[in-house]
Amino acid sequence: MGDTCPVAATDDTAPDHAPPPPPDTGAGGSSGAGMPRWLPRAMAAALVLFACFQLASWAFHQLIGLLLNILIAFFLALAVEPAVARMSARGMRRGLATGLVYLGVIGAFAGFFTLMGSVLADQIVTMVENFPTYLDSVISWINRTFRTDLSRVEVQDSLLHSDWLRKYVQNSAGGVLDVSATVLGGLFKLLTVLLFSFYFAADGPRLRRALCSVLPPTRQAEVLRAWEIAVDKTGGYLYSRALMALISGGAHYVLLQVLGVPYAPALAVWVGIISQFIPTIGTYLAGALPMLLAFTVDPWYAVWVLGFVVIYQQFENYLLQPRITAKTVDLHPAVAFGSVVAGTALLGAVGALIAIPATATLQAFLGAYVKRYDVTDDPRVHGRRPRRGPGDSVLGRLFRTWRRR
């Protein structure tokens, strides 16, 4: 028998299908049914970001008062910057110049509040002394009008022994501590604003150098230009308001002096400052006190004061203010009113005070980057309709339409 060729043996016991290869467990994969390796890190990063956001939000709400004080101090420093720079250019040390400017400002405000405090104190004393006379006149009018038989003694006894007066005295006694805390808090905020504004004004050049040192040269020029515009607009706004306050106070002083209203100089100063440095409604708030004192002299004098306040407000809005603020603030009255409303909605009274200079600064800064073109000589630009020929009338257009049909 010959040799037979060997035949490769086959393993009949092997399975029909080989098992699948093991899954790839490289980066980004998962082993078995476990979660991806990147998911725990992503969850940890999300938790850290959320914690940082909550911490930043909490810190911002805790420091909102300080940030507002710093913002007020910055605008106050911008307002006094022209005077400080002028005194510093004449050889005076910048810190000394800043101190002298702030002493003048504080002295002016202290004198104003002292003057108004004396006026109010004298008026309150006068009203208390004349209270029986006022009460007698009111009771007489009530008796004549309603045919009653009231007496001053009965009215005084009913007032002194009334429940609402007793509750009012108790509530007032309990609120003394709250008023004291509010006054002390206001003084602390005022000192904080003065301190920061003094440093901003005295160390203005150093602050600008520190800010420019972290910026490239092109950005440095833009920052310095924005700073210069902010100084010009804020200082111009303050000085133009001071000039209009002087004019307004002088005009109202003449009126009050002619009418014989008491405390005419103090009331004129009150009207000038309040009407110019409280936006939008300052004129009407300022006119309330002169009207009240004029009413004590003669009721018709209060009407005269009200009429003068309204007429002077129109004169100031349409003639005086555009000429004085044309080269300083240069804001349209509608834009100024809108900025005050927006500032009040965002920051309250602080926003109302700084809204106009901030908007003027932003407008002037953006105006340098907006390209302007010559306006075409079209009658519609000036609010006039272009002239039409005989065929452009309504009848001419109807006739042409009828002919086409």
What local confidence, expressed as pLDDT, does residue 103 receive? Answer: 92
- Tell which wins on pLDDT, 37 or 2: 37
Which residue reads 């110049």 in tokens?
A: 97
Contacts of 233 (CB under 8 A, 6+ apart): 328, 329, 357, 360, 361, 364
What local confidence, expressed as pLDDT, does residue 399 receive? Answer: 64
With 70 as the cut, is the pLDDT of residue 147 above it? yes
With 70 as the cut, is the pLDDT of residue 268 above it? yes
- Tell which wins on pLDDT, 210 or 25: 210
DSSP state of 320: I
377-389, pLDDT tens digit by residue? 767 666 666 665 5
Q: Give which of 165, 189, 159, 170 is closest to 67, Cα–Cα.
A: 189
Q: Given pLDDT bands bounded at 50, 70 and 90, which one contains residue 10?
A: very low
CA distance 74 to 199: 9
The predicted model gives 258-278 an average pLDDT of 85
The predicted model gives 46-72 an average pLDDT of 90
CA distance 75 to 351: 11
For residue 87, count other CB atoms closer than 10 A to its CB: 17
The predicted model gives 372-398 an average pLDDT of 64
What local confidence, expressed as pLDDT, does residue 391 receive? Answer: 53
What local confidence, expressed as pLDDT, does residue 53 receive? Answer: 94
What local confidence, expressed as pLDDT, does residue 400 receive? Answer: 66
Structure tokens at 250: 């002088």
For the chain, what percent of residues have pLDDT higher than 70? Answer: 76
What local confidence, expressed as pLDDT, does residue 54 receive? Answer: 93
Number of Cα atoms under 13 Å in the Cβ half of residue 52 = 6
Q: Give which of 240, 289, 242, 245 is closest to 263, Cα–Cα.
A: 289
234-251, pLDDT tens digit by residue? 888 888 888 888 899 899
Phi, psi of 261 (to 5 degrees): -75, 135
Q: Given pLDDT bands bounded at 50, 70 and 90, which one contains residue 392?
A: low
Q: What angle do CA 129, 131, 133 make, to 5 degrees?
A: 100
CA distance 125 to 135: 16
For residue 324, count other CB atoms closer than 10 A to its CB: 18
Q: Given pLDDT bands bounded at 50, 70 and 90, which one contains residue 8?
A: very low
Indicate if the alpha-carbon torsion angle 28, 30, 36, 38 is positive or negative: negative
Q: Given pLDDT bands bounded at 50, 70 and 90, which one contains residue 32?
A: very low
Number of Cα atoms under 13 Å in the Cβ half of residue 9 = 3
Q: Given pLDDT bands bounded at 50, 70 and 90, which one contains residue 227?
A: confident
The pLDDT mean for the chain works out to 78
Q: Helices (DSSP H) in 161-298: which residue ranges?
A: 163-174, 176-202, 204-212, 217-259, 264-277, 282-297
With 60 as the cut, is the pLDDT of residue 284 above it? yes
What local confidence, expressed as pLDDT, does residue 251 receive? Answer: 92
The end-to-end CA distance of the chain, in Å, is 118
Q: Give which of 229, 316, 244 is closest to 277, Cα–Cα.
A: 244
Q: Helices (DSSP H) in 90-203: which residue ranges?
A: 94-129, 131-146, 152-160, 163-174, 176-202
Q: Give which of 132, 178, 180, 126 is closest to 153, Cα–Cα.
A: 132
Q: Given pLDDT bands bounded at 50, 70 and 90, which one contains residue 17?
A: low
With 70 as the cut, is the pLDDT of residue 74 above it? yes
346-364, pLDDT tens digit by residue? 877 777 778 878 887 787 7
160-171, pLDDT tens digit by residue? 677 776 676 666
For the chain, what percent of residues have pLDDT higher than 90? Answer: 10
Q: 264-277 and 94-129 are packed helices; what angle lies between their axes, rounded to 10 degrees? A: 120
With 50 as the cut, is the pLDDT of residue 134 above it? yes
Q: Give which of 285, 289, 281 is closest to 352, Cα–Cα.
A: 281
